[in-house]
Amino acid sequence: MLHHDLMHPFRKAVEDRDEAAMAALLADNVVFTSPVAFKPYVGKPITAAILRGVLRIFEDFRYVREIDGSDGRDHALVFETGIVGAPGVRITGCDFLHFDDDGLIDDFMVMVRPLSGAKALSEAMGAQFGRIQQEAVEFAERFA
C-alpha cells in the first residue's frame, strides 16, 4: 500500500472527501467527460459541482489501482464503489486525468462498468442535477 503522503494529490483529496482540495486541482478550462452524459462539461464550476454530487452518491468508494503515464501528465485511477439507494450494485470505474503545465487537471474522463451500474449512476446523478447546476452557478459567481 502506498504511503499516504506519496499518494497522488487528487486521489488523496477524493479519499479524504476534501471538496476544496479537489476543486483546487482543477484547471479553469477543465473538460469533464461523464460516463453517462453524451457531451462533455467545460469549466471548473460545473466540474467541481459534479464531483461534489458524486461524493454524495458514492458509497464505500475506494481507489484500487493507480496507473501513471510515462510523462507524468497522464494518470488513470481505477475505483470500486456502490451507489446510495442502489443496494447490491457495484461499479468498477476509472478516472482518466490529464495535467497541464501548472499541474492542474485539464481533462477528466470517467468510464464505468457494468452497464447496470452505469444506469444506476445515471439515475442517481440525474436526481442531483438541479442541485449540481445551482452549485455551479454559485461557485462561478463566488470566484468571478
Quote the pLDDT of residue 129. 86
Residue 71 lies in a domain: yes
Quote the pLDDT of residue 124. 92
Residue 1 lies in a domain: no
Residue 24 lies in a domain: yes
Residue 5 lies in a domain: no
Give the list of residues 6+ apart from residue 84 with CB closer than 8 angstroms, or none.
Answer: 56, 57, 58, 59, 124
Number of domains observed in the structure of the chain? 1
C-beta separation of 81 from 60 below 8 A? yes
Quote the pLDDT of residue 3. 45
Residue 112 lies in a domain: yes
Cell of 77: 485511477
Looking up residue 132, the CATH number of its domain turns out to be 3.10.450.50
Question: Which stretches of the chain drop beneath a pLDDT of 50?
Answer: 1-5
Quote the pLDDT of residue 2. 45
Domain range spanning residue 57? 10-142
Quote the pLDDT of residue 6. 61
pTM for the whole structure:
0.89
Position 76, amino acid = A
Residue 66 lies in a domain: yes
Residue 75 lies in a domain: yes
Residue 2 lies in a domain: no
